[in-house]
Structure 1
Amino acid sequence: MVAITETRSQPQSSSLPSPTSEVEAEIIYPSSDGEPLAETQQHVLAILMTLMVLRLYLQEQQAVVFADQFLYYIEGKPRARVAPDVMVVFDIEKRLYPNYKIWEGQQTPAIIFEVTSAGTKEVDWNFKKTLYEQLGVTEYWLFDPYGEWVPKQLQGYRLNEDGIYKPIADNCSEVLQLKLQAEEYLIGFYRLDNGEKLQTLEELDKTVQEAKQRAEQADQRAEQADQRAEQEAQKAEQERIKAEQERLRADRLAEKLRQLGVEIEDES
């Protein structure tokens, strides 16, 4: 029997780079975790209304309003993320963002809103409040639609000179130049310069519809006035024609009487 010996060739050196040493795996920053937007419809409505009102208000400014989107705050660590209910970032490009990475935008959110509840109290009050404070978010607002734990449903905090959150007593946002107040299950926003309330899309639509109705009513009144004026003009013309006919009839009668030898005294 002839023994067969397997000969293994020695690995040859390669000039190709090592995948683990020189080619880093791409870091994925997800834009969704599959979780619902909020725990109740009222919480969802409060978030969406705040988003829409602030988008309309800030549409002429260099600002982007985010709602329930991931905020990544440590580059290279995709688990270092949080999803504020609503946040505003100033001085970044106005476009649609799948998420927001602080190191890319080079701007920290200036203001963040959390629509809170008893179930999210610990996260909103402890973890998020501390995180936003450390990140340097100028203002942090907690809105509790059902008044489960936030006094009077709404409370804002602003960084002081030491970088510590202090309660905002007058409910006025210096970041937005707006006064905020709880209005049933939503946040009402009022301009500081003229006291005008910022309207929601529903309120704007109602205002537009009411303006259209007033315009239509004004058109109807004008048309009715024109019709009345035309009727009065027609009536005046009819009276003029009638008077002219009476004058002609009187002239013909006077002529017949003169032909009969009856003298008619001219009363004019």
Structure 2
Amino acid sequence: MRPLITPAALAASPAGERPAVLDVRWRLGGPPGAESYREGHLPGAVFVDLDTALAAPPGEGGRHPLPDPADLQRELRKAGIRSDRPVVVYDDADGSVAARAWWLLRWAGHWDVAVLDGGYAAWLAEGGEVTTETAVPEPGDIEVAPGGMPVLSADEAAVLAREGVLFDARAKARYAGETEPVDPRAGHIPGAVNAPSAEHLGADGRWRTPADLAERFAALGLRDGAPVGAYCGSGVTASSVVLALEVAGRAEPAALYPGSWSHWSRDPERPAATGHEPG
């Protein structure tokens, strides 16, 4: 499956071949995504919570560390995920949380997964059916096998920022160190290039075309053959950089620094650059 699927393509999938659908709506400041799910969701969609299912508890590893494989397997099976059935994930924001679920499933070894282009808003705009009935799927059989997607440690991220291209997916003000509402210190990893996740989308809330995204990353300094990685505040929005690079045509997946700035900034020995340049 390609990394993106349109609402029309999802709606047209035959009944017996329809993908499993995961609703992963989440907002940093609330309200909880589960409330939105109860108010209406795609038929058959199962709500999966970012904080409790798609991440380990916050701590030394950051605000959204990678979940323990056994815990992830249990949650995905509870959501009905099967090894032989494709998966579609959606949110109602800029696609970053859906991208985290997409990335995590691939990291876990399930590659037949796509993000709903435009998310819940696009589904509604195209007249997609909505229900308030809570889905109760048959338990899945997925076997989580970590390692399907490359990851970076803090030290590896620092090296990549010097020797390759490390994209920072946060908003410009947080990258520049002008504000830091969540993590211990402001700034960015020295050498990292700002690539705000919101800019992966067009004015209509859908992902920009492959050509547009390729042009954007080229303008940000990405060159053929250069190793590339991504980070953000807690490893969520950075997943959208990995997805956007794949949409843009990059053959090898970019590496993700799961702990991201929430992990980096906990250690006062790690340097922090400020300003709008890589530093």
TM-score range, shorter chain: under 0.3
* Larger CA Rg, structure 1 vs 2: 1
| Larger RCO, structure (CA 8 Å, separation 6 or more) | 2
Which structure: greater strand fraction? 1
TM-score, L = length of structure 2: 0.22
Which structure: greater helix fraction? 1
